[in-house]
Amino acid sequence: MKLTRLQLYGFRNYAALDLPIHPGVNLIVGENAQGKTNLLEAVSYLSTGRSFRTMRQVELIGFGADFADLSCRLFSQGREQSIRAVLFASHRPKQLFIGGVKQKTAAELPGVLTTVLFCPDDLSVLKGGAAPRRKLLDNALCQLRPGYAQALAEYNKLLDSKTRILKDYHEMPSLLDPLPEFNYRLAQVGAILIWHRARYLNSLIKAAADYHHEFSGGREALTASYQTVSTIRDPFAEQKEIFSCLLDHQQSHYKAELESGQCLTGPHKDDFDAKLDGISIKAFGSQGQTRTAAISLKLAERELLRRDTGEEPVLLLDDVLSELDARRQDFVLNQISSGQVFITCCEPERVTNIGQTVTIRGGQLCT
C-alpha cells in the first residue's frame, strides 16, 4: 500500500498543494504552525473519512473558502486507485469518492487506504480518561472490520436518541414508550462492539508486549485487560451471552438512569487497564514508561493491520521523535525500515536521510 500523490485545495492552511509522495520515508519539515500536522491530517482523513483533531467539518476548510477538496492516488489491493473527499463550509454533507465513484458513507473507505497515526496526544492516551483508549480500539477496528464501523455508528446514534429521551421525558412522558426498543437494540449492537474490542485488545497487547520488551531493554512486561459492565464476566463469551448480560445490566440501572437523566450502562463506558509488571500505568506509570507503552501499542497496531490485510499500512508520525531520547528515537526509526512513512519534525538532521524531505512554510512547499 503506497500513496503516490496528494492534492489539497482549500484544506486548513493549504490554498493549493500538489505533492508527489515517496514510497519510503517522507520527512515533513517546518517550524511550528506551518501546516505539517495538517498534511498528515489530510492523509488520515482520506483513510477514515474523519479528522483526528476535530469533529467540526468547517474547521477543516481554509479561511474564506467555500469548500475543501482532498484527493490522493495510491497503489492498493493490487491496483492503482484514487480517493477524494469534498467538504463544504455550509451544512451540506461531505462527499467521498473511490475511483471517481461517489460513496454513500465513509464505511467504504477501510481497506483502500489504511493508516496508523501517532500524534502527541497519543503519548497521554494511557494516562487520561477512558475515551481515548476506546477510540484507539475503535479506530483500528473500523479499518479492519467494515461491519464494526457500521455497528459503532448505529450504537452512537441509538445512544444519542436514548440520551435525549432520558433528558426530556419529564416534560413529555410519552417519550419513554420506545425506550425498551432502544435498550434492546443497544444491547444487540453493544454486544458486537464488546466482542470485537476484547479480542482485538488481546491480540494488540500480545504484539505490543514484544515491542515494549525491546523498547524498555527487557526490564518491563506490558499487559492489559478489557473492562466492561459488571454483569459481563467474560468479554470473550459468545455475542448472544454478552447481549443477555447487557440487558440484565440495563434492567438493574433502569431507575438510576431515569433519575439521573443519563445513559449509565453500555460499551460507551468501557475501558482497558494497561499495566507494567502488574502495576497500572494510568495510576503509577512514569512519563517515560507511558510514552514507551503508547508507542508500542501503535507499532503493534501497524503489525496487526499488516497481518490481517496483507499490506503494509501507511505510518503517520506527528512530532513523536521530539518526545524521545536518542536511544528511543533509534528504536522507533528501526521500525520504519519497511512500508511508507510520513514523519513531521522541526530538526531534520536529527531524524533520517532516507526517502524525501519536504519543507513546509505557511501551507506551501518550499523548494
Express each pLDDT in 133-143 by its tens digit.
Answer: 999 999 889 88
Q: 11: pLDDT confidence band, cut at 50, 70 and 90?
A: very high
With a cut of 60, say whether residue 350 has pLDDT above it: no
Which one is predicted more confidently, 18 or 119? 18
* pTM reported for the whole predicted model: 0.81
With a cut of 60, say whether residue 344 has pLDDT above it: yes
> Hey, what's the cell of 73?
492516488
Answer whether 264's CB lies under 8 Å from 253's CB: yes
Q: Who's near 348: CB < 8 A, 6+ residues apart? A: 27, 29, 357
Q: 105: pLDDT confidence band, cut at 50, 70 and 90?
A: confident
What integer pLDDT is reported at residue 164 of this predicted model?
93
Q: What values do phi and psi take at 93, rounded to 5?
A: -70, 155
What integer pLDDT is reported at residue 246 of this predicted model?
96
Q: 127: pLDDT confidence band, cut at 50, 70 and 90?
A: confident
> How far lies 73's CA from each of 6, 56, 83, 160, 163, in Å?
7, 26, 7, 36, 41
Tracing cell 460513496 back to the chain, one arrives at 103
The whole-angstrom distance between residue 275's C-alpha and the CA centroid of its chain comes to 21
What integer pLDDT is reported at residue 272 of this predicted model?
94
Percent of the chain residues topping a pLDDT of 90:
56
In the sheet that holds 364-366, the strands lie side by side as 115-118, 314-318, 341-345, 25-29, 356-361, 364-366
> Residue 272: which of 291, 297, 254 has the closest Cα?
297
> Residue 94: which of 63, 144, 51 has the closest Cα?
51
What integer pLDDT is reported at residue 319 of this predicted model?
80
Q: 84: pLDDT confidence band, cut at 50, 70 and 90?
A: very high
Cα angle 263, 267, 270; round to 5? 105
Instruction: Dump pLDDT digits (tens) for 285-324.
Output: 887 788 888 888 988 999 998 998 888 899 998 887 766 6
Convert the chain into a string of H (helix), E (strand) and C (coil).
CEEEEEEEEEECCEEEEEEECCCCEEEEECCCCCCHHHHHHHHHHHHHCCCCCCCCHHHHECCCCCEEEEEEEEEECCEEEEEEEEEECCCCCCEEEECCEEECCHHHCCCCCCEEEECHHHHHCCCCCHHHHHHHHHHHHHHHCHHHHHHHHHHHHHHHHHHHHHHHCCCCHHHHCCHHHHHHHHHHHHHHHHHHHHHHHHHHHHHHHHHHHHHCCCCCCEEEEEECCCCCCCCCCCHHHHHHHHHHHHHHCHHHHHHHCCCCCCHHHCEEEEEECCEEHHHHCCHHHHHHHHHHHHHHHHHHHHHHHCCCCEEEEECCHHHCCHHHHHHHHHCCCCCCEEEEECCHHHCCCCCEEEEEECCEEEC
* Span of 20-29, 260-269, 300-309, 348-357 with lowest mean pLDDT: 348-357
What integer pLDDT is reported at residue 351 of this predicted model?
55
With a cut of 70, say whether residue 19 has pLDDT above it: yes
Tracing cell 505539517 back to the chain, one arrives at 36
What integer pLDDT is reported at residue 38 of this predicted model?
94
Percent of the chain residues topping a pLDDT of 70:
95
Buried/exposed 30-56: b ≥16 CB within 10 Å, e otherwise: beeebbbbbbbbbbbbbbbbbbbbeee
With a cut of 70, say whether residue 352 has pLDDT above it: no
